[in-house]
Structure 1
Amino acid sequence: MKWAFLLGSPDISGGSYVIFEHAIRATKKGVLVTIITEEEVNMERLHWHPEARSLIWKTYKEVENDKFDVCIATWWRTVYELYRVTAETYAYFVQSIESRFYDENERSLRHLVDSTYQLPLHIITEAKWIQKHLNEHFNKDAKLVPNGIRKDIYSIEGVRHQAREQGKLRVLVEGPIDVPFKNVPKTIEICKQSDADEIWLLTSSPISSYPGVDKVFSQVPIFETAQIYRSCDVIIKLSYVEGMFGPPLEMFHCGGTSITYNVTGHDEYIVSDQNALVAAKDDDKAVLNFINSLKHSPTLLRDLKDKAIDTASNWPGWDESSEQFYKAVKSISEDNSLFVHNSKDIIEKKSEFYFQWYVIAEENKNVITKQTAIQKIYENTKSFLRRHFPEMFGFFRKIKYKLIIKKIIK
């Protein structure tokens, strides 16, 4: 079989990590896997996941004459690029409801993202809540393949960056600092207000330090991340949007626990007050109290860690997960239920239709924004004349009224 994965970026991210794990294992089963990107990828960008270099990497231009059994979009934007690749079957690997990545005032963009679920595509997802959402809101039956974990990397035993210290609490914050829905800056501020002894930051952002953080680990290869997890007691992950986030689960495997918001996907493996602590979104007082309780209650910390280890021991590895993914893709390639609609031409036409609606919405928004700005200038000018030049204001108002009356008489 020949698979194509459409990738937005090869740079470090949880979404790309999941794609690579499935793709690498598929190649071991004899599948010819090609990762397709807009521009040629320098293999140095894959320093964080060197095994991904073994995959075939091509641009859209380079696959113009290729044909695949299955072409899989992996991010909403790549759905609108599917028509550029020739394949027998087209699919969509949904790792989150990505319209939630954007601010609510970006209504036309959020609608464009959600429109991807209306296209005639086979869908695979990684979390039960996404599967349910797609069924309830878009009448789509997605195949569920939960993410695995690298048992060869994430384990209690192994090298530590620094030993844990008895009686001290070392917290780990994880995520990029410049992605709003990841909420990293505020997470660090809460940790700084707490009784935690040390704050460490594991980030994909290219930084060497951050105010109030004791140690910063930037763009770390996956094989070295476990050393950091094993050195910390708890990961503080306060994202607003997630599919099925991996870092808390990786921390569980390395002997720690977590504090999170009740974000989508947390309940795939987190049980509040058993293996971790869960606060309502933006209940920062609760998060602060949680951190302080772990600092001052060694028994609570130990109990949460023990239950987290139990959760980890029962979680599947990537071999098991990717076997499910392989079977899901194989069944999709053999499924003729969408044969008439799941074609390159129809996907291109439907994609163009949805995209044109987005363009129209954006153009209208720009017109309204411009009109609003002009109206604001007019109101400000009027207010300025009324305050500073009342006689001139009165003169212009009389002229305006005369013009209105003339128009009515006509």
Structure 2
Amino acid sequence: MRIAFLIGSVDVGGGNYVVCQHAMHAAAMGHEVAVVVQTSFTKAQLAWHPGFEQLRLIPLDQLRSERFDIAVATFWKTVSELHRLNAGQYVYFVQSIESRFYPAEQVHMRRLVDRTYDLRLPSITEATWIREHLRHFHGSECLLARNGIRKDVYTPHGERHAPRISGRLRVMVEGSFGVPFKNTARTVRLVRRARPWQSWLLTTTGMSWYPGVDRVFSQLPIAEVPKVYRSCDVIVKLSFVEGMFGPPMEMFHCGGTAIVYDVSGHDEYIVHGHNALVAPMHNEATVLDHLRRLQDSPRLLEDLKSGATETASKWPDWPQSSARFFEHLEACYAAPKVSRQWLEEATRELREYFQAQSQSATFVKEGHRRVGWLRRLKNDTRVYSSLLRYIADGYR
């Protein structure tokens, strides 16, 4: 089978990591696999994941008349250009409800993303909560293949940057900066308030120093990441939006535990008091209390680590996960075919909708600006008098 995965970029990220794992598995099974990339890239950008070195990558603009059996959109923005791939079937791999990536005030962006789910393409997702959301709000039935984990890489034993020390809590914050729903900067500040023995930062953002943390690990290759996990006792991950909650599970496999918000999908494997500690969304006081409890109670910390190890032992590895994914991909291929022409027309309507929404948003913003200006005129007699003089001068 000839399979194409359409991705937005080759940048470091959880979504691209998952795509690489499934694509590598497909290639190992003997399928012809291509990763089509919407944006240009350099060879240096590929080093973070070995899959990019092994797989065939094609910039979208260089794609010619090649035909695929299946073309898979992997992010909402890729849906709009999926029709540019000549394929026998089109599939949507939904890795989160991505309308939540945008703040509530960006209503037109949220509506645009949600309309990609309303297309009801044959779909696969990675988390139960996403499947339920699509069924309830979009009338779309979605197949489920939970993400796996590299059990040969994420292990409790192996190299580390520093040994764990009983009674001295080393806390790790993971996340990129400049993405509001990741909440990384706020998490660092919150950990600093708790004053653990040490705090470390693991990020995909390029940096060598960050205020309030003892060590920074930036843009690491995958093989280097477990060394950081094995050195820390707990990961604090307070994102507001998740698809499949990956970093806490990676920490579980490396012998640590986690503190998280009750973000959608956390309950896929996190059990408060058994393998991690959970705080209500935005409840920073509870997060601080959790951190202080772990500092003051080495026994609680060890019990949570034990529960996390038990959870990790039952979680599927990537071969199991990708095998399930490709069972579902074959089911999508057998489903009623999505016409390329229909898909092109549908995505054109999406673009027109977005343009109309953007113009409407601009109009409303301009209206608010003008109303504010008129109110200023009403309340400021000097400005009002100056305007009258200006108008009068124009008629002389």
TM over 0.5: yes
Q: Which amino acid aligns with 1:350?
A: A
Relative to 1, partners in 2 of residues 1:382 and 1:23: Cα closer, same or farther, differing over 3 Å?
A: same
SS at match of 1:90: strand
Q: Which residue of 2 aligns with 1:225?
A: 225
Q: Is the 8 A contact 2:377 2:383 kept in 1?
A: no
Q: Deviations over 1:114-144 (max 9, x none)?
A: 0001114110000000000111111111010
Q: How does 1:68-79 map to 2 (within 5 A)?
A: 68-79=68-79
Describe how 1:223-372 pairs up with structure 2 within 5 A.
223-335=223-335, 338-339=336-337, 342-372=338-368
Residue 163 in 1 paired to residue 163 in 2? yes
- Unaligned runs of at least 5 residues, structure 2: none
Partner in structure 2 of residue 93 of structure 1 = 93
> How far off is 1:63 after superposition?
2.2
Q: Secondary structure at the match of 1:89?
A: strand
Identity %: 43
Q: Residues of 1 paired with 2:181 and 2:37: CA distance?
A: 25
Deviation sequence 1:69-99 (CA, Å, 0-9, x none): 0000000000010111100000000000000
Residues 167-186 of structure 1 aligned to structure 2 (within 5 Å) = 167-186=167-186
1:243 and 1:265 in contact (8 A); partners too: yes
| Structure 2 counterpart SS, 1:230 | helix
Q: Distance in 1 between matches of 2:91 and 2:274?
A: 37
CA distance in 1, matches of 2:324, 2:387: 77
Verify the 8 A CA contact 1:195 1:295 in the aligned structure 2.
no
Residues 320-344 of structure 1, C-alpha deviation per residue, up to 9 Å, x if partnerless? 0011111111222222xx22xx111
CA distance in 2, matches of 1:158, 1:207: 26
Q: Quote the Cα distance in structure 1 between the aligned partners of 2:52 and 2:324.
A: 20
Query: Compared with structure 1, are the counterparts of its residues 7 and 384 closer, same or farther at alpha carbon in structure 2 (3 Å cutoff)?
Result: same
Instruction: Tell me by how many angstroms 1:364 deviates.
Output: 1.6
Matches of 1:65 and 1:325, distance apart in 2: 27
Structure 1 CA distance for aligned equivalents of residues 294 and 61 of structure 2:
54
Deviates further, 363-372 or 16-25: 363-372
* Number of equivalent positions: 390
- Residues 182 and 134 of structure 1, relative CA distance in 2, 3 Å threshold: same
**CA distance in structure 2 between the aligned counterparts of 1:26 and 1:155, rounded to whole angstroms:** 25
| Partners of 1:375 and 1:157 in 2: CA distance | 64
**Alignment partner of 2:243: what SS?**
coil
- Distance of 2:92 and 2:310 partners within structure 1: 33
Give TM-score scaled by structure 1 length.
0.92
Alignment partners' CA distance in 1, 2:356 and 2:340: 24
The structural deviation recorded for 1:355 is: 2.0
User: What is the alpha-carbon distance in structure 2 between the residues aligned to residue 51 and residue 244 of structure 1?
Assistant: 20
**TM-score normalized with structure 2 length:** 0.95
CA contact (8 A) 2:255 2:308 kept: yes
Give CA-to-partner distance per residue, 1:230-257, whole Å, 9 cap, x none: 0000000000000012100000000000
Deviation at 1:393, TM superposition (A): 8.7
Q: Quick check: which has more Rg, 1 or 2?
A: 1
Q: Which residue of 2 aligns with 1:15?
A: 15
Partner SS state of residue 57, structure 2 = strand
Q: Secondary structure at the match of 1:259?
A: strand
Deviation track 1:178-201 (CA, whole Å, cap 9, x = no partner) reads 110000111111111113110100
Structure 2 counterpart of 1:378: 374
Alpha carbons of 1:384 and 1:5: their partners in 2 closer, same or farther (altered >3 Å)?
same
Per-residue deviation, residues 341-362 of structure 1 (Å, max 9, x unmatched): x111001111111221221121
Distance, in Å, in 1 between the alignment partners of 2:288 and 2:77 is 37
Assess if the C-alpha contact under 8 Å between 1:41 and 1:57 holds in 2.
Answer: no
Q: Which runs of 5+ in 1 are unaligned?
A: 400-410
User: Is the partner of 1:124 in helix, strand or coil?
Assistant: strand
Report the aligned-residue RMSD.
1.6
Distance in 2, Cα, partners of 1:393 & 1:8? 53
| 1:193 corresponding residue in structure 2 | 193
Range with bigger deviation, 59-68 or 25-34:
59-68
Amino acid at match of 2:353: W
Partner of 2:37: 37
Q: How far did residue 383 of structure 1 move?
A: 2.0
Instruction: Supply the distance in 2 between the matched residues of 1:394 and 1:226 (Cα, whole angstroms).
Output: 67
Secondary structure at the residue paired with 2:231? coil
Question: Contact between 1:239 and 1:261, CA under 8 Å: does it hold in 2?
Answer: yes
Q: 1:363 to 1:395 in 2, by over 3 A?
A: closer
SS of residue in 2 equivalent to 1:166: coil
Structure 1 contact 120–347 (Cα < 8 Å) conserved: no
**Any conservation in 2 of the 1:34–1:57 contact (CA below 8 Å)?**
yes
Q: SS state of the match for residue 380, structure 2? A: helix
